[in-house]
Amino acid sequence: MDYKPSPKELTHFPFLKKAQDHIKARFSTLDSLLKDTKGESLINLAITRVHDSISPKKIFAPVVSDSADDEIAAYALARIIVSCVNDKQLIDRLTRYEAERMYYFLVNEEEWNQNYRLEDTGYSRLCIALANELGIQIIQDRMPLTDYVELVSPLHEDRFRLVNRHLSQGFVEIKKEERYELLRERTRLVIRHDLPHKVPSFICEQLAPKVTSIKKVYQEQMLQQFGAIDENAFPPCMQALVLALTGGTNLTHAGRFALTTFIHSIGMNVAEIAGMYARSPDFDPEKTMYQVEHITGRGGSGTEYTAPACAAMKTTGLCVNRDKICETVNHPLNYYRQKKKYSPKTKKEGAPTTDNPPASPR
Ligand code: SF4
């Protein structure tokens, strides 16, 4: 039977189609909503959501104090706001936050849901409805191999690797406690899929002051996270690019793009990036500034590019000299974050080292 969650239940899973349908009839068009006082309070709620997503500490409270309609609308508005910012990492942060939030409410459902009812299958009816919409047969103890591989590819824990799984006739066995984790991962993929939205420019213009404040907080937070630049913590791929640059080798377009986006993401400004390229014996200031400004979004396009992930680096032949930390990451920025955290300058006694790397961030 098709279970119809209450508005309160939908509040905790605002990405569900039923949740989005629920608010469509409640609010006027986005354009007029943004101009009235109700719109103002919803935007503030959405901004809080984006702030929560970039905060290093995630706290989820089982009780949601705002109205169900407002909470669901704030979810949709937060997606519009990050689409206006159009920064891949910020979008990733928000989608990861939403997936974590959904996971929290799912595993703690008994605490907050007055309608909680456990079915004979051992799962609540809300969980089953959620899993059905996300296309996961939660009550089954196995999953088609292709679905499994797609879902777990961003997960780096050994227990998810195919060599550690029991395979039978094209299916992978899934333990009960792992199924919520796979639901979380599916949620992340589903809500990431259509971001960034194509938001009309006049909407982004109306949101501009809020967007600017989010960008500022986010950049400050990134700077805090990465701190002072530490070239010793660069991953081997980036070290190789810097070495090639210094040695006078002409970097390929893909190499320049990867290095520029990487060093921009860890906090180098345009002048500092140009300074790094000045190490090249055939440094051309004008050409360099043009390329750097284009890649960092200051060249008029407004698009700020993000450093390629390890998979893309492999495809372009830039993934070289892999080491042990590389086994635990899927992005050069994750490598940098890990190595910097445990570099000799910051390492505390007993902390993991490069020979004994910490668990990979998801
Ligand atoms: S695995 Fe990733 S971080 Fe390591 S060298 Fe390759 S691209 Fe760089």
Q: According to the model, what pLDDT value does residue 233 have?
A: 92
The DSSP H or E segment spanning 254 is: helix 253-265
Q: Ligand 1: which residue has its CA nearest to atom 2?
A: 310
HEC string for 280-321:
CCCCCHHHHHHHHHHHCCCCCCCCCCCCCCHHHHHHCCCCCC
Atom of ligand 1 minimally distant from the CA of 313: 7
Q: pLDDT tens, 111-133?
A: 889 999 988 888 899 999 999 89
CB-based pocket (< 6 A), ligand 1: 235-237, 310, 313, 319, 322, 326, 329, 332, 335
DSSP 6-56: -HHHHHH-TTSHHHHHHHHTTS--HHHHHHSHHHHHHHHHHHHHHHHHHSS
Quote the ligand 1 centre to 237 CA distance (angstroms).
6
Q: At what angle do helices 17-24 and 68-85 cross, to 10 degrees?
A: 100
Q: Ligand 1: which residue has its CA nearest to atom 4?
A: 326
Quote the ligand 1 centre to 325 CA distance (angstroms).
9
Q: pLDDT tens, 158-191?
A: 788 888 899 998 899 998 888 898 899 899 989 9
Task: Summarize the confidence of residues 144-160 as an average pLDDT.
Answer: 80
Quote the ligand 1 centre to 193 CA distance (angstroms).
25
Q: According to the model, what pLDDT value does residue 353 have?
A: 36
Smallest CA-to-CA distance from 12 within 68, 55, 79, 59 is with 68
Tokens at 235, concatenated? 């991953």
* Residues 279, 231: Cα–Cα separation, whole Å: 14
Quote the ligand 1 centre to 322 CA distance (angstroms).
6
Tokens at 174, concatenated? 């899934």
Percent of the chain at pLDDT > 90 equals: 31
The DSSP H or E segment spanning 178 is: helix 176-193
Atom of ligand 1 minimally distant from the CA of 335: 3
Q: According to the model, what pLDDT value does residue 274 have?
A: 82
Quote the ligand 1 centre to 320 CA distance (angstroms).
7
Quote the ligand 1 centre to 95 CA distance (angstroms).
24
Higher pLDDT, 55 or 346: 55
Determine the 3-state secondary structure of 172 from DSSP: strand
State the DSSP code for 92: H
Atom of ligand 1 minimally distant from the CA of 238: 8
Q: Ligand 1: which residue has its CA nearest to atom 8?
A: 237
User: Using CA of residue 321, residue 327, residue 330, residue 332, what is the dihedral sign?
Assistant: negative
